[in-house]
Amino acid sequence: MIEYIRGELADLTPALAVVEAQGVGYALNISLNTYSAIQGRTPVKLYVHEAIMTGGRDDSYTLYGFASRQERSLYRLLITVSGVGANTARMILSSLTPAELCNVIANGDEKMLKTVRGIGLRTAQRIIVDLKDKIMQSGIADELHVSSQPGTPAVNTAIKDEAVSALTMLGFSPAPSAKVVVSILTDQPDLPVEQVVKLALKMIK
């Protein structure tokens, strides 16, 4: 089993990193969080999850790379949930940081999970029910300084939802919009929705 790969970053896209270690180029599927963490850095160290599919016409061997152990642990927990496959788990980790995802699960914020492309209400609820206790028991939440106390999210949900809706109507993707809006409201919780939208328009890439 491969625990991690450390080497020169030979190639990088938002979805794939090629790391050369001792003359071998390893192609690893990555999330946007990992992409941001390793962009411009070399050498790099990526924690590995190996996915081996057998029994079909062709066996497949796929490597997934993560910038932190916590992100890999969350990925492994996500793919245990019924209806959440490898691509969906990677989409979730591309839309939310590990700390944000832990907060969302710990506090039962199904609306935030639903902003991730491909996640419906039932899947969001299943992720929360299946993983809430596991992320606390595994120690991931403690490592990321996540609290499961009710009321931890400090943002105004009504303002957040209205701002995200406005940004979506303007053509921006819901998940990145939600991240920016939550960030703004965390720093400035009393802002009216129009000000939140104006600030978000300057921040969304």
> Which tens digits make up the pLDDT trace of 137-154?
777 877 776 655 544 454
> Which of 40-49, 50-59, 159-168 has the highest average model confidence (pLDDT)?
40-49
Q: For residue 150, say if its preceding peptide bond is cis, omega within 30 degrees of 0.
A: no
Q: What pLDDT is stored for residue 151 in this prediction?
A: 45
Residue 205 predicted with pLDDT over 70? no
Residue 24 predicted with pLDDT over 50? yes
Contact 96, 175 (CB under 8 A): yes
When pLDDT is averaged across residues 95-105 and rounded to a whole number, the result is: 89
Dihedral, CA of residue 96, residue 98, residue 100 and residue 103, to nearest 10:
140
147 DSSP 8-state letter = -
User: Beta strands 16-21 and 60-66: pairing type?
Assistant: unpaired
| Cα distances (Å, whole numbers) of residue 54 to 51, 59, 177 | 10, 5, 39
Which pTM was predicted? Answer: 0.71
Domains of the chain: 2-64 (2.40.50.140), 68-142 (1.10.150.20), 155-201 (1.10.8.10)
Sheet strands (E) in the chain: 4-12, 16-21, 24-29, 44-53, 60-66
